[in-house]
A and B are shown apart, each in its own frame.
Chain A
Amino acid sequence: MQTHLLKTTTFLVLLIFSMSKVSAQEIQIKGIVSGSEGEILAGASVTVEGTTLWTTCGVEGTYSINVPDSKSVLVFSYLGYKTARVVVGDQKSIDLALDKDFAVLDEAVMIGYSFVKKKDLTGAIAVVGEKDFQKGVSTPDRLIMGKVAGVQVTPGGGAPGSGSRIRIRGGASLTASNDPLIIIDGTPLENSSVAGSPSLLSTINPADIESMNILKDASATAIYGSRASNGIIIITTKQARYGQKTKIDFSTRFSLSALPKALDILSASQIVEIVNSNPLSTNEFKAMLGTANTDWQSEIYQTAIGTDNNITIAGASKNMPYRLSFGYLNENGVLKSGNIERITSNVNLNPRYFEGKLKIDIGLKFSNIDNKIANTGAIEGAMGFDPSKPVRTNGFDKFGGYYTWLLNDGNVNSQAFSNPVALLETYDNRANILRGIATAQIDYRLHFLPELRANMNVSYDYAQSRGNTKVPDWASYMITRGGQNTNYGDYRVNKLFEFYFNYSKNIKIINSFIDLTAGHTYQDWLHHQDHFQDYTADGRPYGAAPAYPYDENRHTLISFFGRLNYTLMDRYLLAATFRRDGSSRFHPDFRWGNFSSIALAWRISEENFLKNVTIINDLKLRLGYGETGQQDIGSNYGYIPYYRQSSTKSQYQFGNELYMMYRPEAYNTYLKWENTVTWNIALDYALFNNRLSGSVDFYRKKTSDLLNNISVPSGSNFSDKMIANVGNIENRGVEFSMNIIPIQNKNWTWEIAINLAYNKNEITKLTPFNIAGYKGVQAGWMDYASVQMQSVGYPLNSFYLWRQVYDNNGNPLEGVYADLDRNGVINEEDKTHLKSAEPNIIGGFSTSLSYKKWTLGTVFRASFGNYVYNGINATYGTYGTLFSSSRSIVNVPANVLKTGFQYQQQYSDYYLENASFLKMDNLTLSYDFGKVFNNLLGIRGSFEIQNLFTLTKYSGPDPEITDGIDRKFYLRPRIFALNFNFSF
């Protein structure tokens, strides 16, 4: 077998060798090909137009080629650079610098385990390069906000370093994760972070990122099998290029953040008036009124400063391109006392040996975050604390001077709101997060068979957190437990081993290009969670000692995969992938799954009938089909039966003895991943010299074996509810993107990028068999009330409420609802499905206008059809809350003046509001000073404003809320920033 293989390969090698040697020898041309910044382009191809003559550049960028005559035309090309054509004439030596080519079809795109030229893409893949990123963000997820059709990035909050919820083409899951798989430099991450970490990607410095590729349809993602249903984001960090001159960049940023809008609550004078006049008031309440006029929201928020500094050294020493970067970020939160201090470092070494046949890519990422977490309880407190009370006053020395609600006996009134300033100032929660990601990729193009590459990829990702929360024992809100001294900490280890072969060959005789990949990956994730004894401020144990000192959650994924790319005549493309995944999360009998995809593309513009139509640069029709899975189901051991030991607070007494208990746990042997089938049909276009380009995609995504938390029959398992694969869900949509360059001349450049996506989502099945009267799964919890219902026939996260009845003046009548079943009683049966929290249409609009050295850029984002339940108004906006049984005055949203509601009407659709919005995310004005000091130093400066304005009908401060329920939300600040870049 092996000899046979050897023979075959030898034959192939000889064949190829003989083909490239067919030539007449007329004129010899020599030269060096480089990039415009002097980087050596080893491996650049040099061909003689109209012939089969070709060669490639060596390590120093040198080439030598024989051409038939002086009329011959040499074509120089290199991936990522503009192709150049040169007529030989009487030259003997031609040195050439190729210009970098942005956003062109020859750009190499990382699609998972290999690169493909953009023009040869068959799947729905969006590429966002550095140039198109959102400016001035501190976490990578926000770089692509509003930039890609069908990708919804919803910022999670305003805390420094906070992350976002990313949805690609709507959610496909009910109980499993809807987050996309994120891969950084070849390492797939787990989508949860360590405790105290501001967010999943907060340890990655956005300044180190070169590109983010978003794989949307299954034909693109299926190579990642059981983790691919929610799309994939491939993040590539910056590297130096071969032969690049040493370059040092320094950037610095100074920012000011402030809250754009506060909650609309009652003022001190309004409270006084209501307490003195409202019929619900009593003398007891009147006696509670204070004389101060405190705006608690301005007491807890601040204008926060921040700075972000990055230094990068990139260059190449001999065979070794290197890039080293260091970042230092320090940001205060707009909520006082919050701060994040982050040091990041990224080292990429990319040595090449044997004329580039052996490539080694080593990446080392390191980050250290000191996160001081503000007590977000103060946000709710600032809303509810009586504004007629002062922040500090005499007589409260034992609570640090902070005004505190007391009972008649002088003790703290634990049912009243705590002083929000005290909540901030007495709460000291600090976490230190360390993360290191080391990756090594060895790619060897075999000497005896250069078409064959062997690639080995090893990576180790370690993240740890150590945190502590301290509250002094005199802090009023912790006085009963004697203050707090709580440690927490965990670490995560993510290991990857990957190996694959890639064979690619241009077979000219049959005008074909084939590219075959086959490989194996092994990935293991470990989460180590320490359990600590909780202490009071003075070091006494509080609560039970933990039953176990730590817990470890681990899961492993072993996969085999393959891909075939076939291109015929440079215009008919076929891509097929296959993956077999085995996951430790499932029972051995149900552990292995196969996922495959196929895609076809037709580059119509390469057909003869269009080839000469000069206004069309590219026109491509794509068809894709694929199966993917979702195995991020929340539990690693759901199929295993085992016993859980009770804690010391759950022991049973027999005789005079107490006995710890062993409890058998519920398990589902039949658990498996969710399965999604996607169809995609699309058209890519580039017209007018590439000045108008874009895509239109239509897709349909059908998820089956959807995990739902269903009631299992009592007595059939050790719980009444169990996650089981029982449902179906469907997403359908259209995506549209367009990049326009209306003006491009010597002084002016104007670029516009527009994307728009429509998605319709519907749950089609939720239970194993048809059950009359089954309404669905309660969802959308606002305290103890569920305001959403996942039901068959409706979109995910549809609100489920009573229909409010209004009087003739359009004011809501308290407690009066439409009696939908006309039985005279308002009950569960009268609730009805209303709009969903998920938008129908999302879009982004980016534009930049350059005049000479000035550039003005802006990014808008829009969302339509998304509804938000104003939980703050619904929960607090009543006179009953103001005059509660808590023996204190509670401030409430000003909305109470409109409704006049006495008691909570949490299920009224009055509180459901259309939260469609248009946001201006960013406005940047930059100036390029050019090279100064004898061309030694390049300087660029910019001024930017983030989160400028929001147009919306929504009555709350911000309509952009991840799950459509407005709770006590850390609002996103408006940021003003000044940036300078220096390059040496």
Chain B
Amino acid sequence: MKNNNIIRQLLALAAIFFASSCISDLDRYPINGNSAEKVYSTFEGYKSVLAKVYNAYGTSVNEGPAGYYDTSVGAEGDFLRAFFNLQSLTSEEGITTWSDAGLHDLNFMTWSPSNPFLAGLYSRSLYQILLVNEFLRESTDEKLNSRGISAANAEEIKFFRAEVRFLRAFQYWVLMDIFGNPSFIDENSLVGQQLPPQIKRADLFNYIENELLEIQTLLKDARSNEYGRADKAACWALLARLYLNAEIYTGTAHYSDAITYSSKVIAAGYSLKDSYAELFLADNHLNNPEVILSINYDGLSNQSYGGLCYIINAGFIVEHDEVPSINFREYFGMGGNGGWFGNRARKELTDRFEPADSRRLFFGQKASVDDVGEFTDGLMVAKFRNVTSNGSFGSNYEEAFPDTDFPLFRLAEMNFIYAEAVLRGGTGGTMANALIYMNDLRRRAFGNTSHDFVTFSLDDILNERSRELYWEGFRRTDLIRFGKYTSDTHLWQWKGGIKAGKGVENHRNLFPIPASDRMANPNLKQNEGYETN
């Protein structure tokens, strides 16, 4: 019986030990994961989260160039790639040879709600907003106090909060402009299986306007923040853009407000960069008095296959049959596997330029796109490049990742907004100033005054905007404001899917709510005209 007792006691011990203490072993955590408490315990942690909030419009990865995508949409969920495709490929600015799912539908304006770039942009914009909301929840005064963040640092974090609210307003502007009536979430929406409600375009306009008017006082003064971070001028610039298009969004014009806020930016001390071409080169973060806010890339340290890497690579071919003398990998500063020959301009864009215009950055001879699949039909656009103003390559020529930053807001746009708002009857500005602002751009383009406008019409503004701002993500919005996007009187090659071009249904002035989101969220009603899709 002695043995029995020992064994029994051992068994009893074992049973007690394993039945009680080990239940807590069911709490397992990733060793390389960082809890919110750990991340936000320092000011540096806050700034690293802020970096992610910003870079959500830069790349869609967490380990560049293609590791740990933020969403499973992957490369199509890259902000600039999707935004460029929707704003430019659906207009005379661009056309792609690629036949990836959905791209030809953008070329031809025949998209359906299942177009991958719609889902890509929609989810990307809301993703950045989600990051903003999370940042706002984690940076309340109460949390900063409880985490022992110093008063000085807490002051700086208050600026962070205003900046991320600006980024949220910017992405809501994108959603309002592209989709009209998107899902709506703010810092009070909880992360989980809650279905976001839908917001009406006009209501969203009010939300964006109120947010921007509130944070314009909370942001750092114009030109006083670090490069790449938003300041008051960025806020005014977005307000100006919002008000210029207000009639489209709400039915009520706000041209005087557009004048007010574009004037504020113009008066804030920005000036046009001397050389137009240098605005879009690898060292455009240096000596750049014109750019108000940019999306920043770095060939070594901020890599992805979207963003400017996409815009540059998709826009050139290594050996162009019509320009045999140039090695375009070297010309664009994109070695490696650079040169994906997808996007180029349509005839209507390139025909709009006078030969002396320094903004005419095209290669090739055949402007007419007879064959959509032939890259050399239509001129090659050499606007964004990964070479510096002194001709050397960006930091990562070998792998073809650019250093070039993308200008999200620059002074030139403010000149146009001012001029157009004045011409459309806004008050608070003068025609004389408008003419000066327009001619400032002309003089930079031509290097002299001989191409100055004496007078100008609205159509002149639209055309001048095209020459100045092509491939910067403006065209679709501009054409809609002028009523020309879907019309059968303003045509371009392959509009509507035929070479001569034809008008398309008016409901295409808005993109549809992406099918994937409608499937996941019964709160979302489809936009008018797409209901049967």
Contact = CB atoms under 8 A, between A and B. Distances in A.
A662 B517 contact: no
Nearest to B533: A773
A642 interface: yes
Given A554-B28, A714-B126, A715-B189, A414 B337 contact: yes
A662 B48 contact: yes
Interface in A708-732: 709-721, 724
Given A556-B26, A644-B68, A713 B517 contact: yes
Contact of A828 (B18, B22, B114, B516): B114
A175 interface: no
A713 B194 CA distance: 9
Contacts of A317: none
Given A646-B52, A656-B227, A718-B191, A661 B35 contact: no
A319 to B, nearest CB: 16
A650 B303 contact: yes
Contact of A640 (B25, B33, B114, B134): B33
Given A643-B39, A769-B522, 17 more contacts: A446-B4, A447-B3, A548-B32, A582-B23, A642-B35, A643-B36, A649-B63, A655-B227, A662-B34, A664-B49, A665-B33, A715-B184, A716-B185, A716-B189, A719-B70, A719-B72, A720-B123
Interface residues of A, number: 80
B473 interface: no
Contacts of B229: 654-655
A591 interface: yes
7 contacts: A524-B25, A659-B47, A661-B48, A664-B131, A667-B191, A712-B193, A716-B192
A649 B127 contact: no
Contact of A649 (B25, B52, B194, B302): B302
Given A640-B30, A647-B64, A711-B517, A720 B119 contact: yes
B244 to A, nearest CB: 27
A724 B192 CA distance: 11
A653 B298 CA distance: 8
A715 B39 contact: no
Given A649-B63, A716-B193, A522 B123 contact: no
Contacts of B39: 643, 662
A520 interface: yes
Interface string A536-580: 000000001001100111111010000000000000000000000
Interface in A566-606: 582-584, 588, 591
Nearest to A668: B193
B18 A643 contact: no
Interface of A: 414, 444, 446-448, 454, 456, 480, 497, 499, 520, 522, 524, 544, 547-548, 551-556, 558, 582-584, 588, 591, 636-637, 640-665, 667-670, 709-721, 724, 767, 769, 771, 773-774, 828
B155 interface: no
Contacts of B196: 713-716
A715 B23 contact: no
B519 interface: yes
A636 B27 CA distance: 11
A670 B129 CA distance: 23
Contacts of B71: 719-721
A511 to B, nearest CB: 32
A777 to B, nearest CB: 12
Per CB-CB distance, the 10 closest pairs between chain A and chain B, nearest first, are A655-B226, A649-B64, A713-B521, A642-B33, A715-B126, A661-B52, A647-B63, A659-B51, A652-B51, A714-B126
Contacts of A556: 25-26, 28
Nearest to B335: A480
Contacts of B62: 644, 646-647, 650, 661, 663
Interface string B174-212: 000000000111000101111110000000000000000
B45 interface: yes
B73 interface: yes
Contacts of A656: 227
Given A499-B14, A643-B33, A716-B194, A652 B189 contact: no
A591 B25 CA distance: 12
A558 B23 contact: yes
Given A520-B19, A584-B26, A661 B55 contact: yes
A715 B130 contact: yes
A637 B302 contact: no
A558 B11 CA distance: 18
Contacts of A717: 130, 191-193
Contacts of A544: 63
B356 interface: no
A497 B21 CA distance: 14
Contacts of B500: none
Contacts, number: 256
Contact of B301 (A588, A645, A658, A828): A658
Contacts of B59: 650
A710 B195 CA distance: 14
B425 interface: no
Contacts of B54: 652, 654
Contact of B227 (A654, A663, A767): A654
Contacts of B25: 522, 524, 556, 558, 584
Contacts of B501: none
A599 to B, nearest CB: 28
B61 interface: yes
Interface of B: 1, 3-4, 7, 11, 14-15, 18-19, 22-23, 25-36, 38-39, 45, 47-52, 54-55, 58-59, 61-65, 67-68, 70-73, 77, 114, 119, 122-123, 126-127, 129-131, 134, 183-185, 189, 191-196, 226-229, 285, 296, 298, 300-304, 336-337, 515-524
Contacts of A709: 72
Given A642-B35, A646-B63, A716 B195 contact: yes
Contacts of B130: 715, 717-718
Given A654-B226, A718-B130, A712 B520 contact: yes
B35 A714 contact: no
A311 B354 CA distance: 89
Contacts of A552: 31
A528 to B, nearest CB: 10
A584 B26 CA distance: 4
Contacts of A655: 226-229
- Residue of A551, A643, A767 most packed against chain B (CB within 10 A): A643
A866 B304 CA distance: 41
Contact of B228 (A640, A653, A712): A653
A664 B517 CA distance: 21
B72 A652 contact: no
Given A556-B25, A714-B183, A718-B191, A643 B302 contact: no
Contact of A643 (B34, B58, B122, B185): B34
A636 B26 CA distance: 11
Nearest to A586: B26
A666 B201 CA distance: 28
A258 B103 CA distance: 47
- Pick from A658, A660, A714 the residue with the most CB of B within 10 Å: A714
A831 to B, nearest CB: 12
Nearest to B125: A714
Given A558-B22, A660-B51, A663-B62, A649 B28 contact: no
A616 to B, nearest CB: 46
A456 B48 contact: no
B129 A715 contact: yes
A643 B27 CA distance: 18
A153 B126 CA distance: 45
B369 to A, nearest CB: 19
A558 B296 CA distance: 49
A767 B72 contact: no
B301 A584 contact: no
A774 B193 contact: no
Contacts of A719: 70-72
Nearest to B396: A649
Contacts of B522: 769, 771
